[in-house]
Amino acid sequence: MSFAGQTVVTGNPAQIDAITHINGPAMVLAGPGSGKTFVISGRIKFLIEQAGVSPDSILVITFTKAAALEMQHRFFKETSRQYPEVHFGTFHSLFYHMLCLSKPGYHPNLLTSRDKNKIIKECLLKIIKSHKDEIRQKEDYAALSADDYAGILSEIARIKNDNCSPSECNRDVPYCDFFEEIYNSYIQSCSDLGFIDFEDMILECYRMLVGNPDILAKWQKSFRYVLIDEYQDINRLQESVIRLLVRQHRNIFVVGDDDQSIYGFRGSRPEIMQEFREVYEDTKLITLGINYRSGSEIIKNSGLIISQNKVRFDKSQESASDDNHGLCKGFVYDNAKSETKAIADNIEADGDYDNTAVLYRTNLESEMIALELSSRGIPYVSSSAAISIYEDPCVKTILSYLKYAVNGHKRADFFAIMNCPLRYIKRDAVRHENVIERDLLDYYRSNPSMRETVSKLFRQLALVERMRSALSLKYIMNEMGVLKFLLKDKSKSDTDRLNDIFDKLMQDAFAYPDASEFLQKADEDIVRAQKERQNRKGKSNKGVKIMTMHASKGLEFDTVYLPSLCEGSIPNRKSVMPHQIEEERRMLYVGMTRAKKRLYLSYIKGDEDNPRMPSRFLRPIMDLFK
């Protein structure tokens, strides 16, 4: 297509429609692999070279510095760096720029992560002290971990981004009953110290524009054409500032995909994207329906899954090539061990390591595949360190019960378990290297209560000796009270983390019924993890990519594996509300749509003692698993 007799604009009809849009609001629904960067870069060039728009009146906003640099680099390359005046930046850099230029001498002290943690800890200490009697009466108030501090800070940021009251905090936030007091104390402490965070900066910018019509008019005149990438990731506060900036000229052009909105913890909501046409009634809606990345089978099956969400635009995609059908297959495995081996076998046989990714819901789930690939000499890249669950102190305590039972009743193992849970057994009662019941009964011969405690413990240990690995772990954790003891006084985030670890521990135990073999596997995993951490120092970014679905957003690979698609994993057990379930489904959709040629999905069925259920999200495509 040509415009005003000038340069030819290339692309498919929908892309050309988006690129050649000039004035007024427009929303481009850009699904995976649909060429959104091509459209944004093309439109900037079109506005300058064919619509006569001044380069310095164009503002392009992204959500990360890396994305802004990538977009700028692509535009400069396509235009031979002729238009350096075009403004590229993130929301944070934009608002900082506006504040500094509008307020002479304005140089805010931005909070670092260390500052935030120090302030929130001091605030919590003060509030806990003032409510110590009330807190002592409630069992769910436990010692706080680093994850809890991070969770509270994240909720403070969400409240600011949503521009709502701290009384509307999520109920799963630590110390939620006191959150409003924590929030106000944190805000006051930051103010007293002269610090602001990024959310404060956005709010300050909003208030400046609302309260100063002249300043607002200046910026409206400066940025007459506003383009926003990944619009599905915007939050309420950011959207409020943008609405002010474009209110006069209304030349706002947003590109995004509500089906890839997976940053709810930052305040993004797919509803904000859906409300765009209500805010800008004459919006031009353009759907990029051609996928240049994935084969038709991958597109079809990922589309079947995401179509189950209720809060979304009704849209579909088709492959750009009739020849690219792609491969989409489902597999069912008895346990995590067989699943990991099958994936590693397939990766090894294929040999295309650099173009392969294994995506999980959480980093914890990725440990087994990392160690398996390492043992085969297959290069891989992982965002998380190689850490074995068997290095966790709580797991070590549980396994000490097994070690005592099957490895000769050793004193070191007995010391690790004798008071977990608390039994008040003294170390002096253990007289020999091999611990036997008779010695302890003799030590407590004048204490009937302790003799009964000792006898009960050894009766339980005798049962453990005769059980298979998984059954013995269940008995140790539940019937012997070890799980309750280990989780006592743990924070909510630590409890959730440990429950995930214990689930993984049980999966391994079912794969190794013999206790001796199971313990040997545990020891080997620890050694392998330690070696892997040492070996990976200074390694390149070549090899199989192991990452979470979150981290994979924006990337693409020839081959993608999505293992362990079970209930409790995805959707995660902590996601219970409808909007949380829909975000979990969007996360699976993001993972599936990273695949260009081959997509392998799998879940674990378990056995009679430990049955696992496939993720509810797989229902529309269960034919793949037959």
| Domain spanning 305-379+542-624: CATH 1.25.60.10 | no
Q: Do domains 13-104+203-288 and 389-536 have the same CATH topology?
A: no
Distances (CA, A) of 188 to 123, 144, 169, 196, 266: 10, 22, 18, 11, 22
How large is the C-alpha radius of gyration of the chain? Answer: 29
Element housing 160 (H / E): helix 146-161
Mean pLDDT per 10-residue segment, the chain (626 residues): 59 96 97 95 96 96 91 93 94 91 85 88 86 60 68 87 84 82 91 86 92 96 96 93 95 97 87 94 96 96 97 93 90 91 96 96 84 86 77 91 92 94 93 92 94 95 92 93 86 73 85 91 85 66 91 94 94 89 97 97 85 94 94
Q: Which residue has 């238009």 as its token pair?
A: 83
Burial 36-70 (b: 16+ CB within 10 A, else e): bbbbbbbbbbbbbbbbebebebbbbbbbeeebbeb
| Domain spanning 13-104+203-288: CATH 3.40.640.10 | no
**Residue 538's pLDDT is what?**
54
The CATH topology of domain 389-536 is PCRA; domain 4 (1.10.486)
Here the tokens at position 507 are: 């999966």
pLDDT digits (tens, 9 = 90+) for 259-289: 999 988 788 889 999 999 999 999 999 999 9
Contacts of 191 (CB under 8 A, 6+ apart): none
CA 237 to chain centre: 22
Here the tokens at position 360 are: 């999980």
Judged on CB neighbours under 10 Å (0-12, 13-18, 19+), 474 is middle
Percent composition of the chain: helix, strand, coil (DSSP 3-state, to 5)? 55, 15, 30
Tell me the domain boundaries of the chain. 13-104+203-288, 109-193, 305-379+542-624, 389-536
